[in-house]
Amino acid sequence: MTASGPSSGNVWLWLFQRITAVLLIVVLGLHLWLVNFGQASASLRAVLGVILLGLALFHGLNGVRTVILDFNVGIQGRKLVTVILLLLGAASLLFGMHGLWPLIVGG
């Protein structure tokens, strides 16, 4: 069992971490391609932006949670870390959607 494996928390979170990892490689590749060659409609870029935002925030913040929980912060610490990261994720998601908004309504 690896340190980042199912033993360190919820098995669904572990599974979603792997699924978002694979999806991120595909969507991030598309993102870099679009930024460089930019041959897609605004609506496609908006959809891609929202998907990338959600995937990156979940994968990133859940990864941070895994790393912090590996330091044995206790049950109270685990709850605190989870709540803080959820709030940070929600705030970042809203801010990102706010930034993408012209693309979403314009597409």
Partner 1 sequence: MTRRIARLFGRGGDLNPRNLRLGVWAWLIQRISGFILVLFVIAHVIAISQANLALTGPLFTMLDGLRNPFWAVDRTVLVIDLLMLGMIAFHGMNGIRIVMFDIGLGVGLRSHKVIFWSLIAIGIVASGIVIFYGLPLLGGS
**Which residues are at the interface with partner 1 (CB under 8 A)?**
2-5, 18, 21-22, 24-25, 28, 32, 35-38, 42, 45, 49, 53, 56-57, 60-61, 63-64, 67, 88, 92, 95-96, 98-103, 106-107
Three-state SS for the chain is CCCCCHHHCCHHHHHHHHHHHHHHHHHHHHHHHHHHHCCCCHHHHHHHHHHHHHHHHHHHHHHHHHHHHCCCCHHHHHHHHHHHHHHHHHHHHHHHHHHHHHHHHHC
Smallest distance from the beta carbon of 50 to partner 1, in angstroms?
12
Smallest distance from the beta carbon of 12 to partner 1, in angstroms?
15
Decide whether 21 or 80 has the Cβ nearer to partner 1: 21
Smallest distance from the beta carbon of 42 to partner 1, in angstroms?
5
Is-contact 73 81, C-beta < 8 A?
Answer: yes
Rg value, the chain, Cα: 16
Decide whether 4 or 82 has the Cβ nearer to partner 1: 4
Decide whether 18 or 79 has the Cβ nearer to partner 1: 18
